[in-house]
Amino acid sequence: MNPPSSDAPTSPGSVPAKRPRWVWAAALAILAGAAAVLVYARYAGARESTDDAFLDGEIVAVAPSVAGRVASVRADGNQAGKRGEPRV
């Protein structure tokens, strides 16, 4: 009888079996998916979202006191003004 070769395991479990590539690919895909979920959760947690948004505002009519063209506007964007101060 020949002695067992050094390549063949003598008992099950003594030499770990080589895992197939698909196992490593599946593990990598699961880890990548978990990382993507964590990144999205951090992103979505910092932002508010709604499906039923609406705007609330007031409509104000603006009419000129005198007829003519506007030559210049003496205000920038949301600049605060005082009562009676000319803007046009």
Q: Is 3 within a domain?
A: no
Q: Is 44 within a domain?
A: yes
Contacts of 87 (CB under 8 A, 6+ apart): 73, 74, 75, 81
**For residue 78, what are the CA distances in angstroms to 35, 56, 61, 72?**
43, 19, 18, 16
Q: Is 35 within a domain?
A: yes
Specify the pTM. 0.37
The answer to whether 14 touches 7, Cβ cutoff 8 Å, is no
- The total domain count for the chain is 1
The answer to whether 38 touches 32, Cβ cutoff 8 Å, is no
pLDDT in tens, 13-70: 566 678 788 999 999 999 999 999 999 988 887 777 777 777 778 888 888 788 888 8
